[in-house]
Every structure is written in C-alpha cells, then in structure tokens.
Structure 1
Amino acid sequence: MKSRILVYGVEGFMGALTSRAAMRAGLSHVAAGRNIAPVAQHAAALAREGGALAEPRTFSLGKAGRIATQLDDIAVLVNCADLGDDDLHTLLDACMATGTHYLDLAGDRGRVAALVARDDEARERKIMVMAGAGFDFAAAAAVGARLAHILPGARAVTLAVKRSALTAGEAKRLVAALREPGETVKNGQFVPAGAGEKTIEVDFDNGPETAWLAPWRGEAMAARHRGGYSTIESYEVLPEAAARALEPGTWAHRFFRRGWGLKRLERKLARGRLSPTSEDLKRGRAVIWGEARTPDGITRRARLETPAPHLYSAAAAILLAQRATMEDVKTGFQLPSAIGGAALVEDIPGVVWREIVEVDPSVEAEADRPVALDMQAGGV
C-alpha cells in the first residue's frame, strides 16, 4: 500500500508553507513543482533545517501519462498551485490512473464543481478527491459540521468569514469572484445569487460588523452534493474598497459593474503584498461565525478563531493528507469535515472554538435565514 505524500507547487508561497508544515509534522514527503531550480532550493532549505526529508521532484502538467510516472509511489497529492481547468483535469487524470488521492487547497465554487463532476470516476478508481483542503473551505466546513453535531436536526446554516489582509493573488481572485454569478442553496435547490446582494451583521467578538453574501464560495455547491444541510448561505467581511464597489448607487459600483478600474482595485486591496510576511503570519488571525437552525426555529451559534489563514491552510492540508493515507478512507468527492472531523478544530495549533450561548432576542434569526438586509441592484 502506498503511503507517500506529495506537495505540488512548492515554488509558490502556499506550496512551500505546506511542505514546511509536513516537515514540522515529521513527515518525509515529496516536494514537487514545475521548475527544478526553486524546487531544489526549497528541498535544500528544509534539509539544512534538519527536519524530515523532502525529496525534490519536478514535472509539468502537459500530459497525464507523463505525470502518472511521477505518481506511481504517491498515495496523496496535495495541490497548492494555481491551476487552470485543463491542467487541473490533466492532473486528476494522472491521479485516477495511479490510484492517488487528490487534495486541492482551492475551495471556490468552480473548483468544487470540477471535483464533484469526477465523483463517480473517483469511486470507481477507489480514490478520494477533495476541494478546499485549506482555510477558505476546511475551516468553514468544520464549523458547519460541529454545529450540526451540537444541534441534531439542523437543516439550515449560515457562515460568515472574517480573514486577515489579502495578498495580490487573493485580491485578484476576489475581484473576479465579485463580478461572477453564484448561488446559494435553499431547501435543497440552487438559488441564483449575486455577490453582496444581501448583508448580515455579525459579532466576530468585537461588536457587529457587516458581512456580504459570498456566493462564489464553495460551501453551497458542496452541501448540495454531499452534506447534512438543505439550506446554506456564506458571507464574508470585505475590505472597504471591495464593499464600496458592491454598494448600489455609488460611483464605485457603477465603475465596477462596467469593468473599469479592476486592476486598480486589485492593487488597492493587496497594498503591495505578494505574499504574507513573517509578521503577518505571526499576528494574523481569522474568525468564522456560524449559525445552525432547525425547521422549528431552534438556533445555535458559534465562532471559530484560527491562526493566519495561510498557516491554518498548510496545517489542515497536511492533516487531511495524513488521514487520506489510511486504509479505510472514504472514496469519491469528500468534504474536509468528513475526513478531518474534529481534528480540524482540535488538532491545529492556535485554533479556538467558542459556542455562543447568549443570543440577543432582538436579533434572533428567522427559521429559514438570519436577519439580513436585501440590497436593491443599482442601475448602471
């Protein structure tokens, strides 16, 4: 039985951070990427630190057959690279051919949909495929799963995310996501939704803050395919510049709808950050707020506070990869919470779970959704 873990994309910040998390967990692993020089430099740096062995390996994503020769001894591939659709499916084809489980840090609705579409094939090949092995999906999934355990019979959940500052790559993806149509799930059915068309006020432990509907996130897509909730909405606290771009009636909104100044907005959101600094990682925190509801109106709320999202992502990805090497791992498309379980909350350093016991009756949620402000679409 294969047991090796391969981290792909170690030339990039998240790949290197995830590989380093594997080293700190004492895991010998394969550190892989497209370009030999940065991959070799990364592996050499880990070797100098005296940690677990990281074997450098390079391969491009042009042909599945060639990739497969690099995966014959690999049990789990953790993808940290930013892949286009063609590269993603080529890599998946190679994993299918070699019986290699596939974990992807990306958790947007497009990536979730792409892996859901390979569910039957993955089951036939007896491998697991997972999107959202990092913070953006795994942490939110953990909140939803734990609330379902606390409140048996819950059928609706609302999640809201507040994270630390964005990097340039994250800002670019956010700006693109804000302009795309998305969906939520209500009573088991997809409901078309636009970014920011509703808001809720959420207390992330420092007083109420506005969170905007985030239908680009993958929770609704995943829950529709496999999950215990029939109604789900996801929200995010947005940087001020992004929030202004969504406010109907403002010049910023008119420009944004017409596609003007998008690069300028990306630069404003990133503020020159190509990747987090060591200080960002040390001080950064993120919070996910969740509310689960039963059909008869019983509500439970909780907050999950994590270290900097990048640190959580790296630790969660390695934890999930280790679980995937077990003989009894579930196959097909799987949610992070189905594989990681309570460990996504309890076994990652710096994570704090708080159930919110006292609920202000003045903001008590309706049975089918939280108190929300429906925003009228602005004219252009």
Structure 2
Amino acid sequence: MDKKWMIYGANGYTGELIARRAIEQGLTPILAGRTEAKVQPLAKELGLDYQIFSLDDAESIAAQIGDCTLVLHAAGPFIYTARPMMEACLRSRTHYLDITGEIPVFETGAALGEKAAKAEIMIMPGTGFDVVPTDCMAVFLKGQLPDATHLQLAFASQGTRFSRGTAMTMAENLGESSAVRQNGKITKVPIGHKSMTVEFADDFKRFVMTIPWGDVSTAYYSSGIPNIETYTAVHPSTYRYVKLQKYFGWLLRLPFVKARAKKRVLSGPAGPSAAQRKSGRSLVWGRVTNDKGETRTARSIMPEGYALTAITSVMIAERVLNGQAKPGFQTPAKAYGPDLLLEVEGAVRELMD
C-alpha cells in the first residue's frame, strides 16, 4: 500500500495512539500538526515523515495535503478545526476522516456531502468511539425493527478517564444546551432533560442522562429514524448538579469561567494510562420503538474508548486506502455496515429482546 496519507494532530493524545496503531498495522502515515517541537519527536521515534502547518485557511492547507489520498484529522476542538480541513480536502480531492463527537461538525460534513460527491471524495467524521459503536448499534437495531420511529442510545465507560482533548471540548461547551432529534430535526433541550437506568451488562447497571452525543446527527443519516435521544452514564449526584444548570448556565458560558476550566484541564494527565486502556472497557446500549409500541433492545461491550478509537480509525483508513470509500458524506455504519464494530477483537453484541 503505497498511497500517501496523513494524520493531522498526531502529537495529541488520541492522535499519537492512532499513529502507533498505524505502525502496528504496517502503515506509514505522514504525521502533521501545528508545532514542530511536538510533532518531530514522535515522527523521529516512529520513523515517519512529518509536516508542519496551521489550519488558517483552506487554500494553504490544500497545498500541504495535495499529494495525500487521505487525511485523518485528530486535532480538536473540531468545531473550530474541522471545516477548514474539510474545505481543503474538497480542493485537493483528498478523503477526509476525523474522530469528532460534536454534532455541528457532523452537520457540516453532511452539508458538504454534495460537494464531496462531485469531488469524488468521502467525508466521514466520527471514526472512533465517537461514533462507530453507537452508529453500528443504530443500524443494527433498525434492521431488527425496520419501521422504528424512535431510537435511544446510551454509553458508559468502566475503568478509564477522559483525555485532555475531550475534556477541553467539554470545557468549551460549558453552559450550553443539549440536543435531541424530533421528527427529523435537531432540537435544543436542557442537558440531562431525561434520565433512566440502563443494564449495559449483567454485572453493570448505570444511571444515565441525555447529552448531545454525535448520534443525534449521524444516526438519522445512518438509519433514517426521525426521533433520537443519546445518553451517558453519570453519578446521580452529578445529575442533580446538572439539573441546576438552568439557573447558572449563563455563568458557565462566561469566557473567564471557560478559561479557568481549560487551565485546570491542561494541568492534568493527557489521558488514560496504558494500563487503564488495557483493563478498561466501553459499553453501548440501544433501543428502538415503532408506532405500535414494539421494541428491540441490544447492547455491546468493547475495548476502552481511546484504544477503540485508534483501532477503528486505522481500520477505516485502511479501507479508504484500499479503495473502499463511498463519495459524499458518510457515517461508519452506513458505509461499512453494522458489523464493522464486531471486527474489533474483543467486541461483542447481543440482542436482548
């Protein structure tokens, strides 16, 4: 496989995991990022070429990626960085992947879908834990109940923690509302406006609340189900504080509050340790319902989320490099089917009813 491809943001926590996974799979990506002092040491260690450039404008980015078949974009917050990279990929006719979980980024990709089809490239945000396992669950459940009108998806992690990049995105979104899809349209709702208890595994039940997970966008394009809610596991005491956000959300949105939160994130660990990634696991639960009240429920267990992101991102990159890329905007399960997740070692899925 001699096609050139690039990991942008390779010096970040998840970007580095992806780069190391690529090497394990016999691939030789070009590593790229904004700062040479951060990118060059990793490139030297892995024996890879590297490029340094910023994401100031699409035209200058396109000049940097012009000879690449594929860019796997791993530098967030994607709400700021994804569009210029997508626009550059359209100019250079380069396939685009990223690891976002941000609804606006998926919607941006969808809006550029027609242009991508004309340029004969694929735009696929969300090639990691956001949103491969949940997207596969949505399409699997749609196949079990083809006339489903409502979809609920929930996820949880066990034995791990957020990476610095994920936490920075969360800090950026402090005080913001949540979202669901109602009758085909994305609708703002208060964060945590609904809650329930989910049996992710026989030995693992958790309280969950609604959040604006990427599937509010992607699961609609993948499954066509018009009503979608997404949930994450939280401690009930955390949920009580979240419910108070309607009273002090304005405070959390103030620039100095977000800046303080980001400073705290930067002072912490880059992400889960290797031991935590090895011992941790991620869990996904889903349920669809039709107008008759019939339901289908399923759940899946898989490796820890950041380890999974590296595995599935490289898995999808390999497909693209092998010519398996559908032009236009795509989601993982729409392009590669609901069993994509089951190709990951250790991933299992069961239908509960």
TM-score (norm 2): 0.87
Pairwise CA distance, 1:94: 1.7
Q: Tell me if the contact between 1:33 and 1:58 (Cα under 8 Å) persists in the aligned partners.
A: yes
Q: How far 1:325 sits from its partner (Å)?
A: 3.0
Deviates more, 1:14-23 or 1:190-199: 190-199
Cα pair 2:138 2:219 within 8 Å, conserved: no
1:41 aligned residue = 41
Contact 2:8 2:71 survives alignment (8 Å): yes
Give, in whole Å, the separation in 2 of the partners of 1:255 and 1:33: 37
Which residues of 2 match residues 171-186 of structure 1 at below 5 A? 171-177=167-173, 179-186=175-182
**What's the secondary structure of 1:103's corresponding residue?**
strand
1:94 aligns with 2:88: yes
Measured after TM superposition, the shift of residue 304 of structure 1 is: 1.3
In structure 1, C-alpha distance between the alignment counterparts of 2:77 and 2:163, rounded to whole Å: 17
Aligned to 1:273: 269
Residues 84, 190 of structure 1: CA spacing in aligned structure 2 closer, same or farther, 3 A cutoff?
closer
Q: Identity percentage over the alignment?
A: 27
Partner of 1:209: 206
> Hey, what does 2:104 align to over in structure 1?
110
Aligned to 1:152, which of 132, 146, 153? Answer: 146
Partner of 1:50: none
- Contact 2:207–2:233 (CA<8 Å) still a contact in 1? yes
State how far apart, in whole Å, the 2-side matches of 1:161 and 1:115 are.
24
Q: Output the CA distance in 1 between the equivalents of 2:262 and 2:75.
A: 20
Q: Please name the residue that 1:137 is paired with.
A: 131
For the residues of structure 1 that align with 2:266 and 2:194, how far apart are their CA atoms?
A: 25
In 2, Cα distance between the equivalents of 1:43 and 1:19?
Answer: 9
User: Is contact 1:223-1:230 (8 Å) kept?
Assistant: no
CA RMSD of superposed structures (Å): 2.8
Specify the alignment match of 2:251 in structure 1: 258
Residue 162 (structure 1) aligns with: 156
Q: Distance in 2 between matches of 1:69 and 1:223?
A: 34
After superposition, the Cα gap between the structure-2 partners of 1:281 and 1:13, relative to the gap in structure 1 and judged at 3 Å, is same
Aligned equivalent of 1:16: 16
Unaligned runs of 5+ in 2: none
- 1:298-328 C-alpha deviation (Å, 9 max, x unpaired): 2111111121110111111111122223445
How many angstroms apart in 1 are the aligned matches of 2:335 and 2:23?
21
SS at match of 1:258: helix
Q: Distance in 1 between matches of 2:60 and 2:223?
A: 36
Residue equivalent to 2:215: 219
Report the CA distance between 1:124 and its aligned residue: 1.6
Whole-angstrom CA distance in 2 between matches of 1:95 and 1:34: 18
Q: Does 1:353 align with 2:349?
A: yes
